[in-house]
A and B are shown apart, each in its own frame.
Chain A
Amino acid sequence: MEHGSFKDNSHATFTLGEEDHTLANAVRFVLNQDPRVTVGAYTIPHPSLEKVNIRVQTTGDPAKEVFKDACQELMQMNRHVRSVFDKAVTEYKAEQERKEKKAAEELKRQRELFGSMDIESN
Chain B
Amino acid sequence: MESDGEEEVRRIVTDEEKLEAQNFNIFDLPDVPKGLPPHLELQRTRVVCEVKAPLHATGTIYSGAYISSGVDNSVNLENFSENFKVDVISLTKTDMVFDMIGIPPGVANAFRRILLAELPSMAIEKVFVVNNTSIIQDEVLAHRLGLIPIVADPRLFEYLSENDQPNERNTIVFKLHVKCPKGDPRRKVLSSELKWLPNGSELLKESAGGSTTNPKTHTSFSRSQDSFPEFADNPIMPSFQDILIAKLGPGQEIELEAHAVKGIGKTHAKWSPVATAWYRMFPEVILLKEFEGKHAEELVKVCPRKVFDIEEMGQGRKRATVARPRDCSLCRECLREGDETIEGEAKSKGKAEAKSEGKTEAKSEGKAEAKGKRDWVDQVALRRVKNHFIFTIESTGSQPPDVLFTEAVKILEDKCERVISELS
Chain A: residues with CB nearer than 8 A to chain B? 2, 14, 16, 19, 21-23, 25-30, 32-35, 37, 64, 67-68, 71-82, 84-89, 91-93, 96
Q: With the chains together, A68 CA to B424 CA distance in Å?
A: 8
- Chain B, interface size: which category? 35 or more
Query: Can you identify 19 A-B contacts, CB atoms within 8 angstroms?
Result: A22-B110, A25-B106, A27-B416, A33-B63, A37-B63, A67-B423, A71-B423, A76-B77, A78-B416, A80-B81, A80-B84, A81-B84, A81-B100, A82-B406, A82-B409, A85-B98, A85-B405, A85-B409, A86-B406
Q: With the chains together, A30 CA to B107 CA distance in Å?
A: 9
Contacting residue for B80 out of A25, A34, A64, A80, CB 8 A = A80
Q: With the chains together, A68 CA to B61 CA distance in Å?
A: 19
Question: Which of B85-93, B154-162, B164-172, B202-210 lies on the face that meets chain A?
Answer: B85-93
Q: Which residues of A contact B141 (CB under 8 A)?
A: none
Are B88 and A23 in contact, CB atoms less than 8 angstroms apart? no
Q: With the chains together, A71 CA to B416 CA distance in Å?
A: 6
Separation in Å of the B379 CB from the closest CB of chain A? Answer: 35
Chain B: residues with CB nearer than 8 A to chain A? 61-64, 73-77, 80-81, 84-88, 91, 98, 100, 103-107, 109-110, 113-114, 118, 402, 405-406, 409-410, 412-413, 415-417, 419-420, 422-424
Q: With the chains together, A35 CA to B278 CA distance in Å?
A: 32
Are A22 and B113 in contact, CB atoms less than 8 angstroms apart? yes
Q: With the chains together, A19 CA to B126 CA distance in Å?
A: 28
Q: A23-B412, A28-B106 are in contact. List 13 more A-B contacts (CB 8 A).
A: A22-B118, A33-B63, A35-B64, A68-B424, A76-B77, A78-B410, A80-B81, A81-B107, A84-B84, A85-B86, A85-B405, A88-B86, A88-B98
Are A73 and B77 in contact, CB atoms less than 8 angstroms apart? yes
Q: With the chains together, A93 CA to B402 CA distance in Å?
A: 11
Separation in Å of the A63 CB from the closest CB of chain B? Answer: 10
Q: With the chains together, A96 CA to B91 CA distance in Å?
A: 9
Separation in Å of the A118 CB from the closest CB of chain B? Answer: 37
Residue of B85, B100, B416 ringed by the most chain A CB atoms within 10 A: B416
Would A35 and B86 be within 8 Å (CB), given that A28-B106, A75-B416, A85-B406 are in contact? no
Q: With the chains together, A78 CA to B85 CA distance in Å?
A: 13
Separation in Å of the B345 CB from the closest CB of chain A? Answer: 47
- Give the nearest-CB partner of B72 in chain A: A35
Q: Which residues of A contact B422 (CB under 8 A)?
A: 16
Are A35 and B74 in contact, CB atoms less than 8 angstroms apart? yes
- Give the nearest-CB partner of A50 in chain B: B266
Q: Which residues of A contact B61 (CB under 8 A)?
A: 29, 32-33
Q: With the chains together, A112 CA to B405 CA distance in Å?
A: 43
Q: Which residues of A contact B105 (CB under 8 A)?
A: 29
Contacting residue for A32 out of B62, B98, B107, B410, CB 8 A = B62
Are A32 and B63 in contact, CB atoms less than 8 angstroms apart? yes
Question: Nearest 3 pairs between A and B by C-beta?
Answer: A92-B88, A25-B106, A88-B86
- Give the nearest-CB partner of A75 in chain B: B416
Q: With the chains together, A75 CA to B421 CA distance in Å?
A: 13
Q: With the chains together, A86 CA to B412 CA distance in Å?
A: 16
Are B419 and A33 in contact, CB atoms less than 8 angstroms apart? no
Separation in Å of the B67 CB from the closest CB of chain A? Answer: 9
Would A26 and B107 be within 8 Å (CB), given that A2-B423, A85-B86 are in contact? yes
Separation in Å of the A103 CB from the closest CB of chain B? Answer: 17
- Give the nearest-CB partner of B75 in chain A: A33
Would A26 and B91 be within 8 Å (CB), given that A77-B107, A84-B84 are in contact? no
Are A23 and B420 in contact, CB atoms less than 8 angstroms apart? no
Q: With the chains together, A68 CA to B417 CA distance in Å?
A: 10
Q: With the chains together, A28 CA to B420 CA distance in Å?
A: 15
Are B63 and A35 in contact, CB atoms less than 8 angstroms apart? yes
Separation in Å of the A3 CB from the closest CB of chain B? Answer: 13
Q: Which residues of A contact B417 (CB under 8 A)?
A: 75
Separation in Å of the A122 CB from the closest CB of chain B? Answer: 43
- Give the nearest-CB partner of B118 in chain A: A22
Are B416 and A29 in contact, CB atoms less than 8 angstroms apart? no
Separation in Å of the A111 CB from the closest CB of chain B? Answer: 27
- Give the nearest-CB partner of A35 in chain B: B63
- Give the nearest-CB partner of A25 in chain B: B106
- Give the nearest-CB partner of A67 in chain B: B423
Q: Which residues of A contact B419 (CB under 8 A)?
A: 16, 19, 23, 27, 71
Q: Which residues of A contact B424 (CB under 8 A)?
A: 68
Separation in Å of the A94 CB from the closest CB of chain B? Answer: 11
Q: With the chains together, A13 CA to B409 CA distance in Å?
A: 26
Q: With the chains together, A77 CA to B80 CA distance in Å?
A: 8
